[in-house]
Copies of this chain bind each other. A is one copy, B any other.
């Protein structure tokens, strides 16, 4: 075994350890999305509280991943594809952290909403939307591990459904608010939850783009998600 092979496999070992942390982080974020939307659906304050507390572990994992990546950059000085992978991992971790924040925010608003007039019918739609985002996240993490650009592209496509779900909910909330002023306050919160869930979808989309970039060496053509989707009304 020559020196170069030794260096390469050292990098691979480091990367594997970092990727394990990314997967762990992804699992925690998926759970946060599901639990947050469940707490909203069932008006379960205790579960909402758990989601809020669980976010710290997600944040800490991101810090660890950043520190690990910095160390790999310093010690291994990767170039070309290896460098691209390390930079992608940092971006993916940042996206996961943001999704976790949005889940935490959903839980925080749930804690407020349980003390307000219930808006019947709206919470089911929000839960379906959150469920769909969680499935997209699951798939994009699989796509990352398997370096599967096709699956990542599929996730990109599905973000359109999320946008449509958001638009439908937006109109629904407006109708509720027009009908009865008592719905205005709760609907403001529900609307933010819908918007934040849509933003989770945008961050999943960003991860999908990172995967495509990683596998193919270039970003997918027709999108810059941050510039287009995040602000789609």
Contacts and interface: CB of A to CB of B under 8 A. Distances in A.
Interface of A: 55-56, 59, 66, 70, 73-74, 77-80, 83-84, 87, 90, 94, 97-98, 101, 104-105, 108-109, 112, 174, 177-178, 181, 184-185, 188, 191-192, 195, 224, 226-227, 230-231, 233
What is the total number of copies of this protein in its complex?
Answer: 2
17 contacts: A55-B227, A59-B227, A70-B83, A73-B83, A74-B83, A97-B226, A98-B226, A101-B231, A104-B231, A105-B230, A105-B231, A108-B231, A174-B185, A174-B188, A178-B181, A178-B184, A192-B195
A177 B182 CA distance: 11
Interface of chain A, main secondary structure: helix
Contacts of A73: 73, 77, 83, 87
Contacts of A109: 233
Contacts of A192: 195
Nearest to A58: B227
